[in-house]
Amino acid sequence: MSDIADHGASFDEARYRQVLGHFPTGITVVTAMAGHEPVGFSVGSFASLSLDPPQVLFCAGKSSSTWPKIQASGSFCVNVLSEDQEDVCRLFASKSQDKFAEIGWRHSGNGSPVIDGVLACIDCNITRALESGDHYVVIGDVADLQVLHEGGPLIFFRGGYGRFTS
């Protein structure tokens, strides 16, 4: 285990990605309003954090140009992508200037964008952002949440997108 603890210059980033790629993750798009401009980005590092109080978390890269806009808004909405929304995931992972011009959406209760066709949405107020490595761990208090339709989630596994089957 000493190889893991000593992650200096000899750390193998490719191996890290390959091993962690064996853990399937659901894909979300985190959105907010930056003034009158809708903003958002794809996030695979989303999780439930606490039931009492109800909280969730996601991680935002320090190099993200979208995260500071979401942080300034004070709130966000987590959009849980359905299995047929790979194109939405790719759009929000891109550097496209107006990602919302290509999709349908409406405002959530807190004003953040809810993307058409998502399985569920979770409206949150930002509680804190903790700096860790090359990311921020963003914690949000859940203000509202709802299932919008039943279906399968979009999954990321071993470098590709897939679907869940039981």
CA dist 114 → 28, 149, 166 (Å):
11, 13, 27
Give the whole-angstrom CA distance, residue 9 versus residue 125: 38
Give the residue-averaged pLDDT of 140-150.
97
pLDDT for residue 1 is more than 50: no
Can you list the alpha helix ranges (DSSP code H) found in 21-148? Answer: 67-73, 86-93
Q: What is the DSSP letter of 102?
A: G
State residue 10's pLDDT score: 76
Q: pLDDT tens, 25-34?
A: 889 999 999 9
Instruction: Give the 3-state secondary structure of residue 69.
Output: helix
CA dist 153 → 34, 79, 137, 138 (Å):
28, 11, 23, 22
Nearest to 108 by CA among 154, 73, 137: 73
Q: With bands split at pLDDT 50, 70 and 90, how would you rate the model's confidence at 2?
A: very low
Query: Using an 8 Å Cβ cutoff, are 113 and 122 in contact?
Result: no
Of 21-35, 121-135, 138-152, least confident by mean pLDDT is 21-35
State residue 8's pLDDT score: 57
Q: Which CATH number fits domain 26-157: 3.30.565.10, 2.30.110.10, 2.40.37.10, 3.40.30.10?
A: 2.30.110.10
Q: pLDDT tens, 70-129?
A: 999 999 999 999 999 999 999 999 988 889 998 999 999 999 999 999 999 999 999 999
Beta strands, E only, the chain: 25-26, 28-34, 37-43, 46-51, 54-61, 75-80, 105-107, 113-115, 120-132, 135-147, 154-157, 160-163
Please state the domain extents for the chain. Answer: 26-157
Q: With bands split at pLDDT 50, 70 and 90, how would you rate the model's confidence at 9?
A: low
State residue 165's pLDDT score: 78
> What are 68's two structure tokens?
């500071």
State residue 16's pLDDT score: 82
